[in-house]
Amino acid sequence: MSDTIYIYDKLFDFTRSVFTKMGCSAADAKLATEVLLSADMRGIDSHGVARLSGYVRLWEAKRINAQPNIRIVHETPSTAVVDGDAGLGLVVAPYAMNIAMEKAEKVGTGWVSVRNSNHFGIAGYHAMMALRQDMIGISMTNASALVAPTFSVERMLGTNPIAVAIPADKQPPFVADFATTTAANGKLEILQRKNAAAPLGWVQTHDGDASTNASELKNNGALLPLGSDRDHGSHKGYALGSIVDIFSAVLSGASYGPWAPPFPAYVPMPSNMPGEGLGHFFGAMRTDAFRPKQEFKEHMDNWITRFRQATPVPDQQEVLIPGDPERRMEEERAKNGIPVVNSVVADIKAVADKMGIDYASLHS
Amino acid sequence: MSDTIYIYDKLFDFTRSVFTKMGCSAADAKLATEVLLSADMRGIDSHGVARLSGYVRLWEAKRINAQPNIRIVHETPSTAVVDGDAGLGLVVAPYAMNIAMEKAEKVGTGWVSVRNSNHFGIAGYHAMMALRQDMIGISMTNASALVAPTFSVERMLGTNPIAVAIPADKQPPFVADFATTTAANGKLEILQRKNAAAPLGWVQTHDGDASTNASELKNNGALLPLGSDRDHGSHKGYALGSIVDIFSAVLSGASYGPWAPPFPAYVPMPSNMPGEGLGHFFGAMRTDAFRPKQEFKEHMDNWITRFRQATPVPDQQEVLIPGDPERRMEEERAKNGIPVVNSVVADIKAVADKMGIDYASLHS
């Protein structure tokens, strides 16, 4: 069966209605929708409307507070800790990123660690907020444990993504946004739907053996850190995922490592959690805190232009700059709509029924 | 032939004499030696005394200024740009890291980008400086281009390492220090000496084909970014190496990408360099800029303890915390000395002759 195509504006109105029915304020419902659907627009389908039903279930389980009192609990001129009051990460994260940017405006850089939050959508959205003010933006989050450290069979870390957005002048910005695993879980989900095998190095069995089974997580297997195995640097991916976990959760007072709260509402919360909710970490750096802004931007143009010209492997595609594929996808989907697979369409219909929203409005 | 064993104190005196003969001040010679030999002590043999002859050749080629006027050229309360005046990176880097820590003391965090520097030894040394004040330390540097971006055959990036040091309480600190490539160049050098093959995924040929030839760089091949190939996330390693390059060199005004100055003095400097020298980037964050210091440290102990207890793969070793192998090596070498391979011993003898230092003093 072919995908259903949604037009962004219709999907936006629908999704906003869902968040409004959950009890979000008008501003929060709009913001949460914008953050969530930025994933669909940029082609990171696993993190967009596909997760809407998951957010609704977390709200039903009272793990998401639709009317949070998000607040700063500690700060210095360049840092803050934000308590998300169990709010939607989609709303808590931009709040925290704005604080990082305000601090950067005053003292050059701003760094905010967040506790008591939930899944925040794609890391890239929050990092890219900084681009609006010609700042460098950094965003990361911990997540429920699916990843085994090097030498382990136990799931100890989430896919813990890192995003870094860097402004340029005439060139589009540099936007890296990646899970600290070899492959994001969303890529496994795509293979599962196709009944296809995964490349070796993405997952391991519950005994730690190499596996090509895209459903290995259902057998208590684990995702592998970037690098796949020790010989190929998995200890580096494990270190990166750990740094994200510590900056996001140990600095803020969120729950970390294997105690990070699970996204699926049917999974019980871990016992003896050492902190509150999920954690995030955000940074903003004014480029002119280092050198004149225009000079920086022109050198970024030069950097980007030179890397685009790097000699390609014979008969392969040209070299890309981080952010290129997502930007092209965004242009394409703005024109042609967002294709959504049938299992997600069924989920969306169920959400519409549950929340008393007319599904037909998505196609009117 | 078996390795020669040097005792740290003797090697320290010898190396300090070399830097003194180069014209370094007493304080700089001592500091440069401490930084350089921290690599040998921690088992990162490629970055320690093995590079001493390389530093001497750069000094002979007048690419290293032994009496630099290192200075801040721009600053805000939380940031600075430092010009290293072509000094030894071994001296410029601690200067810059100290500024980051001073700024962190005042406003919570400090971030320093450095231009016009040279190779700074191991990234971990500088990040670990922050531990002395219970701060989190971050250190990175660009380096001469040996790494091909995903889809490219051209060497565009250095091995661009990242180090992050995080204090704990009763547990030893968390210290990650890794090249953003699948394997560091030093690992290839070890295989070359043994005439052994490299695992697939470390290097590619000049045509971009997979290769197990540990000497592939000599045939215009390239190192591969962490992840090895597109299917295993090499675009993430490429993005990481790029971020290091941009933070270290585009922010500061150093030379970046394929224009980064080469470490071997016989390699001509690139033409049309867009900046001055190598670049570094340092960060320091006060943990109590986020939450009470003792609370943070106790949670780090809990994090570390829990990760040590992660279920190991059957019949494999226990799970390690980043920094464990290097710390154990340091203890072992403090006791038993530093084994140095014969090619490096020959290099050291040549340096002794050239600088008029008695090689025998190393064994007296």
- Give yes or no for a contact between A270 and A255, defined as CB atoms under 8 angstroms apart: yes
Residues B203 and B171 in one domain: no
Q: Is residue B322 part of a domain?
A: no
Give residues 20 to 39 of B whose Cβ lies within 8 Å of A: none
pLDDT in tens, B116-141: 999 999 999 999 999 999 999 999 99
pLDDT at A125 over 70: yes
Q: Are residues A147 and A253 in the same domain?
A: yes
A113, A252, A311 member nearest B152 (Cβ): A311
CA distance B107 to B92: 23
Residues A14 and A47 in one domain: yes
Q: Does A285 touch chain B (CB under 8 A)?
A: yes
What is the Cα–Cα distance from B113 to B81, expressed in whole angstroms? Answer: 5
Same domain, A40 and A187: no
Do the Cβ atoms of B171 and B304 come closer than 8 Å? yes
Is the domain of A112 the same as that of A74? yes
Same domain? A165 vs A293: yes
Cβ within 8 Å of residue B339, ≥6 positions away: B3, B4, B5
- Mean pLDDT over A131-151 rounds to 98
Q: For residue A115, give the nearest of A139, A87, A144 by alpha carbon.
A: A87
Q: CA of A258: how far to CAs of A9, A281, A332, B64, B332, in Å?
A: 38, 18, 39, 48, 33
Burial class (CB in 10 A: 0-12, 13-18, 19+), A177: buried
B68 and chain A in contact, CB less than 8 A: no
CA angle A106, A111, A116 (to 5 degrees): 130
Last residue of a domain, one of B221, B250, B268: B221
B275/A contact by beta carbon, under 8 A: yes
**For residue B268, is pLDDT > 90?**
yes
Average pLDDT over residues B319-323: 98
Quick: pLDDT tens for A321-341. 999 999 999 999 999 999 999
Residues 6+ positions from B251 with CB-CB distance below 8 Å: A287, A290, A291, A296, B81, B113, B279, B281
- For residues B172 and B239, state if they share a domain: yes
Token pair in block for residue A260: 């990070």
* Chain B residues with CB-CB distance to A178 below 8 A: 233, 235-236, 239
Based on the domain organization, do B121 and B75 belong to the same domain? Answer: yes
Looking at the structure, do residues A269 and A343 belong to the same domain, yes or no?
A: no
B190 in contact with A, Cβ within 8 Å: no
Which among A236, A290, A322 has CB closest to B239? A322
Question: Considering only CA atoms, which of B140, B335, B349 is closest in space to residue B249?
Answer: B140
Q: Tell me whether A190 touches chain B (CB under 8 Å).
A: no
Searching chain A, which residue's CA lies closest to the CA of residue B274?
A299
Substitution target in B150, B224, B236, B252 with the highest count of A β-carbons within 10 Å is B236
**B322 vs A226, A239, A275: nearest CB:** A239
CATH number of the CATH domain containing A198: 3.30.60.50
* A83 inside 8 A of chain B by CB: no
Boundary of a domain, candidates A223, A248, A274? A223
Sequence-distant (≥ 6) Cβ neighbours of residue B276 within 8 angstroms: B83, B86, B115, B116, B253, B254, B255
CB contact under 8 A, B151 and A319: yes
| Secondary structure (DSSP) of A30-91 | HHHHHHHHHHHHHT-GGGTGGGHHHHHHHHHTT-S-SS---EEEEEETTEEEEE-TT--HHH
pLDDT of residue B185: 87
Residue A188 has φ and ψ, to the nearest 5°, of -65, -40
Q: Which residue has the tokens 């890794």?
A: B178
For the cut 70, the answer to whether the pLDDT of residue B1 exceeds it is no
For chain A, the 3-state helix, strand and coil shares in percent, each to the nearest 5, are 45, 20, 40
pLDDT at B186: 85
Secondary element (H or E) of residue A263: none
pLDDT in tens, A301-327: 999 999 999 999 998 899 999 999 999
Q: What pLDDT does residue A1 have?
A: 62
Does some domain include residue B321? no
Token pair 């925040």 is found at A120
- Whether B206 and B236 map to the same domain: the answer is no
Tell me how many degrees the CA angle B92-B39-A231 measures, rounded to the nearest 5: 120
In this complex, is the C-beta atom of A264 within 8 Å of any C-beta atom belonging to chain B?
A: no
**CB-based contact B246 A275, cutoff 8 Å:** no
Facing residue for B76 by CB, picked from A108, A148, A201: A108
Sign of CA dihedral A347, A15, A178, B175: negative
Assigned domain for A313 exists: no
User: Does B255 touch chain A if contact means CB atoms closer than 8 Å?
Assistant: no
Average pLDDT over residues A232-251: 98
User: How high is the pLDDT of residue A347?
Assistant: 95
Tell me if A106 is assigned to some domain: yes
Contact B232 A233 (CB under 8 A): no
User: What's the CA angle centered on A15, arms A355 and A83, to 5 degrees?
Assistant: 95
- Are A216 and A363 in a shared domain? no
Q: Is residue B158 located within the same domain as residue B280? A: yes
pLDDT tens for each residue of B67-83: 999 999 999 999 999 99
Answer whether residue B119 is part of any domain: yes
- Quote the minimal CA–CA distance from A163 to chain B in Å: 10
Question: Which CATH number does the domain housing residue B145 bear?
Answer: 3.30.1370.60
Dist. CA A45–CA B169, nearest whole Å: 42
Q: Is residue B331 part of a domain?
A: no
Q: Which residues of A touch B202 (CB under 8 A)?
A: 232
Q: What CATH number corresponds to the domain at position B49? A: 1.10.1530.10
Interface-testing mutation among B140, B178, B250, B256, with chain A (most A C-beta atoms within 10 A): B250
With an 8 Å Cβ cutoff, is A272 touching chain B? no
Whether the Cβ atoms of residue A135 and residue A287 lie closer than 8 Å to each other:
yes
**Number of structural domains found in chain A:** 3
Each residue's pLDDT tens digit, A165-209: 999 999 999 999 999 999 988 889 889 888 899 999 999 999 999
pLDDT band (50, 70, 90) for residue A71: very high
B81 — contact with chain A (CB < 8 Å)?
yes
Residue B336 CA to residue B357 CA, distance in Å, equals: 25
CA neighbours closer than 13 Å in the CB half-sphere of residue A200 = 5
**Residues forming a β-bridge with A5:** A339
Q: Which two tokens stand for residue A6?
A: 């949604």
Rounded Cα distance between A40 and A44, Å, is 6
Cα separation, A52 vs A18, in Å, equals 9
Strand order in the sheet with A135-141: A71-76, A79-83, A109-117, A278-286, A135-141, A162-166, A174-178
Question: Could you tell me if B186 lies within 8 Å of chain A, comparing CB atoms?
Answer: no
Cβ atoms B96, B282 nearer than 8 A: yes
Question: To the nearest whole angstrom, how far is the Cα of B74 from the nearest Cα of chain A?
Answer: 6
At A15-68, the pLDDT tens digits run 999 999 999 999 999 999 999 999 999 999 999 999 999 999 999 999 999 999
Q: What number of C-beta contacts closer than 8 Å exist between A and B?
A: 257
| For chain B, percent of residues with pLDDT exceeding 90 | 95
Mark yes or no for CB contact A299/B250 under 8 Å.
yes
Q: B interface mutation test: which of A226, A230, A236 has the most B CBs within 10 A? A: A236
Average pLDDT score, chain B: 96
Which of B221, B250, B281 is the last residue in one of the domains?
B221
A1 at the B interface (CB within 8 A)? Answer: no
Of the candidates B166, B295, B314, which has its C-beta nearest A207's C-beta? B314
* Residue from the list B226, B290, B314 with its beta carbon closest to the beta carbon of A226: B226
Report the pLDDT value the prediction gives residue A267, as an integer from 0 to 100.
Answer: 92
**Burial class of B10 by CB neighbour count within 10 A (0 to 12, 13 to 18, 19+):** middle
A254 domain residue, yes or no: yes
Q: How confident is the model at residue B62 (pLDDT cuts 50, 70, 90)?
A: very high
**Cβ contact B316–A151 (<8 Å):** yes
Flag if A79 and B176 touch (Cβ within 8 Å): no
Residues spanned by the domain of B196 = 184-221
Amino acid occupying residue A8:
Y
Q: Against a cut of 0.95, is the pTM above it?
A: yes
Q: How many CB atoms lie within 10 A of CB B334?
A: 12
Pick from B248, B272, B307 the residue to mutate for testing the A interface (most A CBs within 10 Å): B307
CB-based burial label for B142 (10 Å; 0-12, 13-18, 19+): buried
Q: Could you tell me if residue B305 is inside a domain? A: no
Q: In this predicted structure, what is the pLDDT of residue B270?
A: 94
Compare CB distances from B149 to A179, A208, A310 and report the shortest one's residue: A310
Task: Determine, for residues A74 and B207 on separate chains, whether the beta-carbon distance falls below 8 Å.
Answer: no
Q: Which residues in chain B are contacts of A244 at CB distance < 8 A?
A: none
The distance of B55 to chain A (nearest Cα, Å) reads 28
Q: What percent of chain A has pLDDT over 70?
A: 100
Q: Which residues of B touch A183 (CB under 8 A)?
A: 232-233
Question: Is some CB atom of chain B closer than 8 A to the CB atom of A199?
Answer: yes
Question: Is the Cβ pair A257, B107 closer than 8 Å?
Answer: no
What is the full DSSP assignment across B137-201? EEEEE--S--BPPTTB-S--B----EEEEE--SSSPPEEEEE-SBSS-HHHHHHHHHHTPPPPTT
